[in-house]
Amino acid sequence: MTKAATPQTAEFREGSGQLLFPPGFLWGAATAAYQIEGAANIDGRKPSIWDTFSHTPGKVLGGDSGDVACDHYHRYREDVGLMAELGLKSYRFSVSWPRVQPDGSGGANQAGLDFYRRLVDELLAQGIEPWLTLYHWDLPQPLEDAGGWPARDTAARFADYAELVHGALGDRVRYWTTLNEPWCSSFLGYGSGVHAPGITDGADSVRAAHHLMLGHGLAVQAMRAARPDHDFGVTLNLYAVSPETDSAVDVDAARRIDGLANRIFLDPILLGRYPQDVVADLQPVTDLAHVREGDLDVIATPLNMLGINYYSRHVVSGAPAPDAADEPSCWPGSERIRFVTRGLPVTDMGWEVDAPGLVEVLRRVNDEYPEVPIYITENGSAYVDDVVNDKVDDPDRLAYFDAHLRACHEAISHGVPVRGYFAWSLMDNFEWAWGYSKRFGMIHIDYDTQLRIPKSSARWYADVIRRNGLAAQ
Ligand code: FCB
């Protein structure tokens, strides 16, 4: 398929000494409900799998939970004020399913929906485009008790929930993301078990991936029927994947990991089929008998946009580690592949900083799949921060953003239709199994006082937004 080059303006091409982005580029920041809201037991909200998981001893570092988090439920007005100070054009947030439909089925909890109405109205009043994610991992616990994502019915429940939220907020929200990172929901939630609900079953993880995608397709169909003018999409966490060496075993390991990390979602959603090599790799784990006729047509319901979350690259070796044997794995059928590091600088997560990998991912998606507008819906880094005289200077985080924005610019100059960028994250928050020990925010949170301090990366980002670009190097 030949790709039309993205229309570039003279301003973008000539740059006037700066690296300018196309006019209308959507500059934003992202968060997720369970990571920031707190108010876990208020106004009718009931537990999600993350409440259960974080209250299970040993699952989350330090015994942390999202019970209070950044108390955003009560402080959203202040937080939207900070977004306005940064000049954000858009804010990506997620809706907590157990807040708005506490049992995962049946009627809406109006008090929960009211919170999102207030939040969205505040955003609109400040001229900030709301970008709503329906599922950022907080499945209502009753649905997990009924089988969770490995059960087909959960897909139908998700579509009902999507319709319910869309019915309530569709008059004021135009951008709708169904799922955030179904890879994590499936393979960390049901494979390695390091995320909620903490199940370790390879076949379940593959079933979960399928039902998440089915739920996505059903939800887009239901919402689009009501509002064909809205923009619907899904967010995938994509990785650049490389073999450690050019040996045949390493190259095959890279093919397998690319299959399980990227193509197992990209191919069904954008091409309407599972990649045959991945289906073959999965044979020892599952025969995919849960895939029913017609499912792939639903899963491939056309998208208005694709969200990509990018953090790092996987470098892999097919020469297995001697002790890699029987740990629960998030790589079903490919459990013994070894992940290696190359000695590049790492973030506080231990993830190597690899901005060229983002160019690779963006060009690959655009070259190998039908063209769809792309938004970077998350990109960012955790570093240890020090508060000195009420200020936080975070040069490493700033450099990470800078390098990855240059990568986006490079991809755009190659014709990839990247239409926006959401920094992860607006503020420090509950980093899942790592609790509050990892700080990804542009705004520092003091969890004792709930004081917010914009870091130097936030000031820098405000300047990038104001100029619609970066200073040329
Ligand atoms: C992504 C998640 C997000 C956050 C970042 C660091 O996988 O979508 O919630 O945890 O990683």
pLDDT bracket for residue 3 (50, 70, 90):
very low
Instruction: Compute the distance from residue 457 Cα to the ligand 1 centre, in Å.
Output: 19
- Strands (DSSP E) contained in 238-345 are 240-243, 305-309, 313-317, 338-339
User: Has residue 380 been placed in a domain?
Assistant: yes
Mean pLDDT over 249-273 rounds to 99
pLDDT tens digits, residue range 89-138? 999 999 999 999 999 999 999 999 999 999 999 999 999 999 999 999 99
Q: Is the pLDDT of residue 409 over 90?
A: yes
Q: Is the pLDDT of residue 10 over 50?
A: no
Which pLDDT score, from 0 to 100, does residue 324 have?
60
For residues 312 and 315, what is the distance between their CA atoms, to the nearest angstrom? 10
Which residue's structure tokens are 């579509």?
A: 159
For residue 379, give the CATH number of its domain: 3.20.20.80
Question: Mean pLDDT in the chain?
Answer: 96
Mean pLDDT over 416-427 rounds to 98
Instruction: Give a three-class secondary structure readout of 90-118.
Output: EEEEECCHHHHCCCCCCCCCHHHHHHHHH
Q: Is the pLDDT of residue 2 over 50?
A: no
pLDDT tens digits, residue range 307-363? 999 999 999 999 977 766 678 999 999 999 999 999 999 999 999 999 999 999 999
pLDDT bracket for residue 473 (50, 70, 90):
confident
Alpha-carbon torsion, ordered 437, 440, 444, 445, to 10 deg: -50
User: Has residue 459 been placed in a domain?
Assistant: yes
Q: Phi, psi (5° rounding) for residue 203?
A: -65, -40
DSSP character at residue 66: S
pLDDT tens digits, residue range 449-464? 999 999 999 999 999 9
User: Has residue 16 been placed in a domain?
Assistant: yes
Which pLDDT score, from 0 to 100, does residue 325 have?
60
Structural domain of residue 154, as residue ranges?
7-471
Which pLDDT score, from 0 to 100, does residue 412 have?
98
Q: Is the pLDDT of residue 400 over 90?
A: yes
Which pLDDT score, from 0 to 100, does residue 118 have?
98
Instruction: Compute the distance from residue 307 Cα to the ligand 1 centre, in Å.
Output: 13
Contact in structure between 331 and 258 (CB atoms under 8 Å): no
Query: 122, 144, 163, 181: which is the annotated catalytic residue?
Result: 181
Which pLDDT score, from 0 to 100, does residue 321 have?
73
Q: Quick one: which atom of ligand 1 is closest to the CA of 184?
A: 7
Query: 244, 378, 410, 431: which is the annotated catalytic residue?
Result: 378
Q: How many domains does the chain have?
A: 1
pLDDT tens digits, residue range 147-191? 999 999 999 999 999 999 999 999 999 999 999 999 999 999 999
pLDDT tens digits, residue range 60-78? 999 999 999 999 999 999 9
Q: Establish whether 129 is a catalytic residue.
A: no
For residues 205 and 202, what is the distance between their CA atoms, to the nearest angstrom? 5
Q: Establish whether 378 is a catalytic residue.
A: yes
Which pLDDT score, from 0 to 100, does residue 16 have?
63
Which pLDDT score, from 0 to 100, does residue 472 have?
79
User: Has residue 1 been placed in a domain?
Assistant: no
Shortest-distance Cα residue to atom 9 of ligand 1: 32
pLDDT tens digits, residue range 222-235? 999 999 999 999 99
Which pLDDT score, from 0 to 100, does residue 7 have?
45
User: Has residue 15 been placed in a domain?
Assistant: yes
Q: Which residues pair with 94 in a beta bridge?
A: 133
Q: Is the pTM of this model over 0.75?
A: yes
Mean pLDDT over 395-424 rounds to 98
Q: Phi, psi (5° rounding) for residue 163?
A: -65, -40
User: Has residue 22 been placed in a domain?
Assistant: yes
If one residue of 309, 353, 376 were mutated to test the ligand 1 pocket, choosing by the most ligand atoms within 8 A of its CB, it would be 309
Q: Is the pLDDT of residue 11 over 70?
A: no
Mean pLDDT over 362-386 rounds to 98
User: Has residue 111 been placed in a domain?
Assistant: yes
Instruction: Compute the distance from residue 29 Cα to the ligand 1 centre, in Å.
Output: 13
Q: Is the pLDDT of residue 45 over 80?
A: yes
User: Has residue 2 been placed in a domain?
Assistant: no
Which pLDDT score, from 0 to 100, does residue 17 have?
75
Q: Is the pLDDT of residue 296 over 50?
A: yes
Q: Is residue 422 helix, strand or coil? A: strand
Contact in structure between 122 and 116 (CB atoms under 8 Å): no
For residues 93 and 99, what is the distance between their CA atoms, to the nearest angstrom? 14
If one residue of 404, 432, 437 were mutated to test the ligand 1 pocket, choosing by the most ligand atoms within 8 A of its CB, it would be 432
Q: Phi, psi (5° rounding) for residue 75?
A: -110, 20
Q: Quick one: which atom of ligand 1 is closest to the CA of 349?
A: 6
Does residue 377's CB lie within 6 angstroms of at least one atom of ligand 1?
no
Does residue 429's CB lie within 6 angstroms of at least one atom of ligand 1?
no
